[in-house]
Amino acid sequence: MPQTNKLIIAFLFFSFLSYSQLTPTYNDIWINMRDGEQIQADVYIPSGVDSAEVILIQTPYNKNFFSLSLPLGVGTNLDGQPYIWVIVDWRGFYGSNGADLSNFERGEDGYDVCEWISQQVWHKDRIGTWGPSALGGVQYSTAREQHPSHTCAVPIVAHPQQNYNGYFTGGVLEKARLEQLDALGYGLSPIILANPYYNALWTFSENSTWYPQDIIIPTLQIGGWYDHNIDIMMDWYIATRTQSESSVQNEQWFLVGPWVHGGSGAAYVGSSIQGELSYPNAEHVSDSMAWDFLSYYLLDTPNNWENTNLITYYRTGENQWSSTNANSIEIITEDILFLDQGGQLSSNNGTSSTLFISDPHLPSPTIGGATLHTTLEQGPFNQSSLDSRPDIITFETDDLSNDVTASGRIKVNLFVESDQPDADVSIRIVDLYPDGRSMLVTDGIHRMRFRNGFTQTDESFMTPGSVYNVEVELPFIHYTWKAGHQIKIYIGGNNAKRYDVNLQNGGPMYIAGDTNIASIQIHHNSSYPSRLILPGNNTFLSTSELNKNLFEVFPNPTNDILKIKGKLNTNKVEVINIQGEVLLSLSKPIINTVNTSDLAPGIYFLRIYLNKNWVEKRFVKL
């Protein structure tokens, strides 16, 4: 298992304040577990302290690295803070590598460590836990065992559930993440790859690792909008607010910042630089809030923590903090933008279709996002280099004349046709800045054979010439596109190397085989209304929509001549039927009348192009 990967992960879980090292007060102590096995721990006690409350960290990434810097801004200044720190190597990792792994529960190990701490003369009576990622997940399994000294927990970018979608997003293996977990020593590939369909194993795994009712202590759950765990964290937080022990339901706090997961690159939870963007007002907020939370519950510090709003969240795009005592920040109403010809996203239904080519030998590259691999960047990155690829199509709004906010899970509902039996549909939602940067907001993917569900019975392949509907649901976000910016969507066949590349041959997945190049059409017309669904309650006042009231068409209904009134510096006017077909197209000079005498009676749309914008008016031909 590559040592360099472990070093990177361990170092970036907390920031270094000094290159000097701490010396544990007690080094490599063996702690007995209930099954007779032992795991190893280091204990850091401030000078002159006889007894104190404890912060416990359980890690699979080598406890020795904490001698370089303790978290929460402590660094090497052990004597300048009030806690005793106990750092434990997980069973099966580093100092605890020799312990038997055949039959144990990691939460029971956590309970046994708490029991050992409570028996030490240097311990007072309370234990708080802290840690990100795997160090966060183990806090939940420890809390589930309900040791009386375990007082509070700070799990970061973590949740307890082992679920299908965490490995197979939209039915597509998140290959890079699984490879990284294998490199870190988890050895999950054999069991994950043996279960690519949702089955009884996944049902058991998900049910047995979802236990909000067993949480009986206060928690401060910390997440990041660019972390791959944020989607499940949102559901888990709501569950702890509503299903944990009633006495602590209003002591479940949630902090969400503009942060990545950490583990590769310079970004981590609490840093200001995330991807290619900077958030100075988010720097160290995770540390300061965790410090206040722990001080309140471990030291009875009168710091007014109890009056802190239960959810504190960063409004990305606006780049400001907000807070609420609601259970969720999800907006339950929806805004719909339709895909249309010319790469437009608008409130008008589309009129055509757009084709792209997906070649498994030349997959579109992963550029940032909620990744987890040492070779992949994390966070918001400019996607503009994808614009010229033949395997990517894009749709964008006009310049927004007012802010547009989405809070919840964006959905992209598409009507797909392909000449191959299987393909993936990848989605990247971006903020198109006025300077031309296409900064990633969120992304997702769905395998077409799983458009009806993820069990083997649900599996259904495509037939050339047929059109299939698929909905791609993206992770929970809170984002605001500012006025003057544009909402833009990239649609492609893959996103590698984050996700497995579909061979597109309809054969077994995740084994070597022949690859087929796929021609994929996204239909967007009145019969097949492909659309972007935003969780919001926005008024879309694009330039074209503001122009709607600048003209009128009359008489309506009309027999032959349709007149247009208004100041129209237009370069084209089209008449379109309800099937989205263009029946009549008129170009410059300035047009004030349209002859409709050759049209059959029915409903039509007059589309007027104004520079890069256009507006439509409905009319009836008698």
State the CATH number of the domain containing residue 600: 2.60.40.3080
**β-strands 52-59, 123-132 pairing:** parallel
CB 280 within 8 A of CB 257: no
User: What count of other Cβ atoms lies within 10 Å of the Cβ of residue 443?
Assistant: 25
Q: Rounded to two decimals, what is the model's pTM?
A: 0.85
Of 515, 539, 563, the position where a domain reaches its end is 539
Domain match, 487 and 549 both: no
Domain match, 481 and 549 both: no
Across the range 102-114, mean pLDDT stands at 96
DSSP 8-state assignment for residue 13: T
Full DSSP string of 488-518? EEEEES--BTTSPPP--SSS-SSS------E
Q: CATH no. for residue 228?
A: 3.40.50.1820
Domain match, 519 and 554 both: no
CA 33/CA 503 separation, integer angstroms: 47
Domain match, 288 and 429 both: no
Tell me the pLDDT tens digit for each residue of 402-461: 999 999 999 999 999 999 999 999 999 999 999 999 999 999 999 999 999 999 999 999
Q: Does a structural domain hold residue 376?
A: yes
CA 464/CA 478 separation, integer angstroms: 38
Across the range 78-101, mean pLDDT stands at 97
Domain match, 79 and 200 both: yes
Domain match, 363 and 305 both: no
Query: Three-state SS for 475?
Result: strand
Residues 6+ apart with CB under 8 A from 188: 178, 181, 182
Q: Does a structural domain hold residue 329?
A: no
CA 299/CA 294 separation, integer angstroms: 7
CA 606/CA 575 separation, integer angstroms: 5
Amino acid at 457: T
Q: CATH no. for residue 345?
A: 2.60.120.260
Burial class (CB in 10 A: 0-12, 13-18, 19+), 549: exposed
Domain that holds residue 21: 3-324
Of 324, 359, 389, the position where a domain reaches its end is 324
Tell me the pLDDT tens digit for each residue of 517-532: 999 999 999 899 999 9
User: What count of other Cβ atoms lies within 10 Å of the Cβ of residue 225?
Assistant: 25
Between 195 and 2, the higher pLDDT residue? 195
Instruction: Tell me: pLDDT of 600 over 60.
Output: yes
Domain match, 314 and 218 both: yes
pLDDT tier for residue 351 given thresholds of 50, 70 and 90: confident
So what's the pLDDT on residue 590? 56
Q: Does a structural domain hold residue 359?
A: yes
Domain match, 457 and 316 both: no
Tracing tokens 């100075």 back to the chain, one arrives at 280
Domain match, 575 and 473 both: no
Most confident option among 5-14, 522-531, 593-602: 522-531
| Structural domain total, the chain | 3
H helix or E strand, kind and range, residue 241: helix 230-243
CA 380/CA 368 separation, integer angstroms: 6
Q: Does a structural domain hold residue 570?
A: yes
CB 510 within 8 A of CB 425: no
Give me the chain's average pLDDT, please.
92
Domain match, 170 and 278 both: yes
Instruction: Tell me: pLDDT of 548 over 50.
Output: no
CA 346/CA 383 separation, integer angstroms: 21
Q: Does a structural domain hold residue 373?
A: yes
Radius of gyration of the chain (CA): 28
Domain match, 384 and 304 both: no
Across the range 378-393, mean pLDDT stands at 97
Domain match, 119 and 62 both: yes
Residues 6+ apart with CB under 8 A from 121: 50, 51
So what's the pLDDT on residue 579? 67
Of 290, 324, 358, the position where a domain reaches its end is 324
